[in-house]
Amino acid sequence: MDSSRLLRTSAVALAAFGLLLAGCTDGSTAPPASASATTASTEDLKAYYGQRLAWRACGAPEFECATMRAPLDYAKPRGAQVKLAVSRIKATGPGKRIGSLLVNPGGPGGSAIGYLQGYAGVGYPAPVRARYDMVAIDPRGVARSEPVQCLDGPQMDAYTQVDQTPDDPGETERLATSFRNFAAGCAKRSGRILPHVSTVEAARDMDILRAVLGDARLTYVGASYGTFLGATYAELFPSRTGRLVLDGAMDPSLPTAELNRDQTAGFETAFRSFAADCVKQPDCPLGTESPARATALLRAFFDRLDADPIPAGEDRELGESLATTGVISAMYDESAWPQLREALTRAMGGEGSGLLALADSYYERESDGTYSNLMFANAAVNCLDQPPAFTTPKQVAAAVPSFEKASPLFGEGLAWASLSCAYWPAKATGSPHRIEAAGAPPIVVVGTTRDPATPYKWARSLAAQLASGTLLTYDGDGHTAYGRGSDCIDTAINAYLVDGTVPPTGKRCR
């Protein structure tokens, strides 16, 4: 179970911080965020901003794809380059085209192109698709854009099964060794790009794309981790920021350990909501007494799996780590709750394939045993964006009680998952800081009250930090809110994107 700071919209989860560039930014100030982005001039970047994309047919009908160039290292823009994959679907009409709308589903590591072609380009509300070219760029290191690679399929299978609730020094060392081996695999296979996949660099890439597309300002919908990417863009380029929707917001001011602890509490909140619903259902495998009793029964089941994994088909088995990941996967979207009830019923009867399927979708494992690069890119970006939450197993052990207080069910495992960046081969270039983006036009921050992955308090905090932030609240379950069935949320965001109408202060939807 490696769930630490994997922040992506439910459409992805269930389908399967530097000195500003002199002359390239717009004169705003920000805390140091990326040591690789300190010494570029307008002339240095002119060729990138002036490039023309060669669009071609690709993938699904009506979508076009292209390749965009960017500096591998913004401190050395005349040096090596990185090739970034871009896709779009043109505005459908009726109505006059407004411009380009860039979308990002989060992660970090989620494929924005996969999200565009599989969902946003055809599933976003029609009034928005009518007026905007829908555009996506896979961030550097992700999917089609020179993906970070770390482990092969069998190695990744072994990695996801490592016990993340160690009971003795031997199990603790095996867990630490798995993190070391993961990091070493990334360094071996992706050493060129590994130091250059930070959120700051991805935001700078988005500004090149904005210019190449011919837009004076960036219009953007970012979900989950995508909110941090969007807020970082606004921090770097406030005068080039247009209408930004940050849905399922992160709080950039929090250190890693606190982010991970808050997320742990978010999954606990989501599970309690699931449990309250489950005990009312005739097929609930966790009893019909109370949510507290349901939690106790699942905790006891996890403990049994820790000692004795069960068969899960295809010569695979289900242990505590994969079972926990399967449950966490279903917390992203309440529509997955019936599937989780069935999977738990089967697992508690000795057959684990249902929970394993949920875990596989979370890790983006294919039926042939291969994995997407989601988890590799996720670690690479997270470990650059902030210093590690913990650097030694001893520090984790000391923090476990506070994580268990946040979540008796998930706390111990998520505390140990927070050790993963301790052995990372590329030094962190970012640090936690407030993002104000002074000078940017109104930015809409969306928070869901029982969001499992990005707790609601993060949305409140980010909206308060941003000089022009306004908070739109969805009182409900699941991860993110736009395009997930709330007419109230969709109408408010559509009006903002199409007409520039900012939701009133304090607006709540149910």
Catalytically annotated residues: 224, 451, 479
**What is the secondary structure of 65-133 as a DSSP string?**
EEEEEEESSTTSTTS-EEEEEEEEE----SS---EEEEEE-EETT--HHHHIIIIIHHHS-HHHHHHEE
Polymer length in residues for the chain = 510
Helix, strand, or coil (residue 252): coil
The distance from CA 119 to its chain's CA centroid, rounded to whole angstroms, is 16
Q: Give the whole-angstrom CA distance, residue 445 versus residue 502.
A: 11
Structure token digits, residue 183: 């990091």
- CA-based nearest residue to 207, from 443, 468, 21: 21
In 10 A of CB 385, how many CB atoms?
27
Which residue's entry shows tokens 């997320």? 263
Q: What letter does residue 371 receive in the DSSP assignment?
A: B
Q: Give the whole-angstrom CA distance, residue 7 versus residue 312.
A: 27
CA 481, 486, 488, 492 torsion: positive or negative?
positive
- Give one word for 261, left, alpha or beta, with left for phi > 0 and alpha for psi -120 to 50: alpha
Q: Which residues contact 15 (CB under 8 A, 6 or more apart)?
A: 114, 118, 119, 361
Q: What is the CA radius of gyration of the chain?
A: 22
Q: Which residues contact 262 (CB under 8 A, 6 or more apart)?
A: 251, 254, 406, 455, 457, 458
Structure token digits, residue 217: 């300002």
CA geometry: angle at 16 spanning 456 and 413, to 5°? Answer: 55
Q: H helices then E strands: how many in the chain? A: 19, 14
- CA-based nearest residue to 320, from 328, 176, 365: 328
* 419, 400 Cβ separation under 8 angstroms: no
